[in-house]
Amino acid sequence: MQVVAGLALLLAAGSCVGPAPPTTAAVSTPSPAPATSVDPALPGLGADDVTRLTVDALQDYWRQEFPRAFGTSWQDVRTIAPVHVDAADAPPPPCVAKASDLRGNAFYCPGADAIVWDDDVLVPGLRDRFGPAGVVVVLAHEFGHAVETRLGVDALQRSDPAGHPTILLEAMADCFAGAAIRHFVDATAAGGSALPLGTVERDAALRALMTFRDPLGTLAADTSAHGNSFDRISAVEDGYSGGPSLCARMTVENRQFTQRRFGSAADRARGGNLPLNRLVAAVSGDARGWYEQLVAARGVQGWRAPEPRSAPPCPGGGGDQGPVTFCADGAIVTDLSRLADLEDTSGDFAGATLLASRYALAARAGAGLSTTGFDAGRSALCLTGAYTARLVDPTGGFGLSPGDLDEAVGILLDQDWAETDGAGTVDPADHGFDRVARFRQGFTGGPATCGL
């Protein structure tokens, strides 16, 4: 995060992967599904077996879905090949001068209608770190580019590059990947998937995609931009809920890209992270005012949000809400040691997300609404997204730095703290995917969509 004194942060618009949802379609919050994982046999497969199953399943999916969505037959991708980048005598893959140029990457080449990937470093690394889902999301993204070519999007980019920047095509490919993942998850639940994926693997796919975000400070207009984690995962979730036809309707007019440059040299030097004491003071000060206005808009006058304290702990506990706790007596208590550890591992906005979510519970209490129960926790998370959207283009105080939205996504995928209620309980059927979707619901739709 960054403190901004009268400096408006400009939202970058246009180019490469990773958006928030199309403005023409509401963000849908998926109904929670039971925590499921794939057949134990799939995690035991080697990387080569995973890629083979993935490619076969994706070709088959698009043979069925492309005609349904677009009214014309699917033409199988002409060349699909692993590349051994470590082999000295490896022939160059299509569209690349030498095999080693592909190290750590996968791509689709429209001119050759070819999908190729680094089979020595990239795929084994994805498989080891994220399981089969890491391989699936990368190859599904490349198939998404093949879909674009068959829809004529590449030709549109050549004739109208401003209207079809790189980031838009990358977002569409992520979206098409999300549609394919939805098919595999649904088919797995029905017991008939050639590529079994459960909700656990769905979260793993999002974590894998986070590793392919652009470097901090990259603008969406950069011709090589692929998007930040928030925007890329937003596109996957939109494809998951809306299907391929929604993906094909993406434009620079109905897609929001949140990548931005650093607002100052000092912010860049800090990597976009404020010292913890400044972070807590800045977030609590800003959030208090925002939530007080929200409660006042409901006709409740005079409510004042509490200032956070680090001691004493909540009377009676408060359950496990993570490093920040909303107490039954209306107080907000921070565990500064845990917040410091979280900032070290996950960035400052991970903690800011948790703090904002506890202020959301305080606002619910101020408005006379329940602070316990699954719906209260979900409302708090949605309101956290709505509050975060305010920081995109602040009028003063402080605002988002590059990477902040990615830090929010990371903590939502890894922990359920931001969705816990005032007793520290959360619906065990909710997953990281669902938490990100609920955060985005508030981010794009505002507090009116959050039950307050």
What is d(CA 218, CA 213) in angstroms, rounded to the nearest whole number? Answer: 10
CA–CA distance, 104 with 123 (Å, rounded to integer): 8
pLDDT at 195: 84
pLDDT digits (tens, 9 = 90+) for 71-97: 999 999 999 999 999 998 888 899 988
The residues, any chain, with a CB within 8 Å of residue 195's CB and separated by 6 or more, are 53, 54, 56, 57, 136, 184
**How many other C-beta atoms are found inside a 10 Å radius of the C-beta of residue 268?**
16
Q: pLDDT category, 450, cuts 50, 70, 90?
A: very high
- Structure confidence at residue 320 (pLDDT): 93
Q: What is the pLDDT of residue 263?
A: 81
Give dist(CA 262, CA 1) in Å, integer: 10
Asked whether the predicted pLDDT for residue 363 surpasses 90, the reply is yes
The candidate with the shortest Cα–Cα distance to 383, out of 433, 419, 414, is: 419
CA 415 to chain centre: 14
Q: Spell out the residues 6+ positions from residue 225 whose beta carbon is closer than 8 angstroms to its own.
A: 15, 16, 17, 166, 167, 170, 214, 218, 219, 259
pLDDT band of 20, cuts 50, 70, 90: very low
Asked whether residue 376 carries a pLDDT value surpassing 80, the answer given is yes
pLDDT, tens digit (0-9, with 9 covering 90-100), for 97-156: 899 999 999 999 999 999 999 999 999 999 999 999 999 999 999 999 999 999 999 889
Q: Assign 395 a pLDDT band (cuts: 50, 70, 90).
A: low
Q: Going along 274-421, which residue ranges are E strands?
A: 324-326, 332-334, 398-399
107 exposure class (CB count in 10 Å sphere: 0-12, 13-18, 19+): middle
Q: Are 418 and 357 in contact (CB under 8 A)?
A: yes
Residues 274-323 have pLDDT tens digits of 999 999 999 999 999 999 999 999 999 999 999 999 988 898 878 899 99
Please give the pLDDT value at position 37. 52
Question: Are 434 and 30 within 8 A, CB to CB?
Answer: yes
Task: Please answer whether residues 305 and 287 qualify as being in contact, where contact means their C-beta atoms are separated by less than 8 angstroms.
Answer: yes
Confidence at 42, pLDDT banded by 50, 70, 90: low
If residue 381 lies in a helix (H) or strand (E), which one and from where to where? helix 374-390
What is the average pLDDT across 193-199?
86
Is pLDDT above 90 for 391?
yes
Say yes or no to pLDDT of 12 above 50. Answer: no
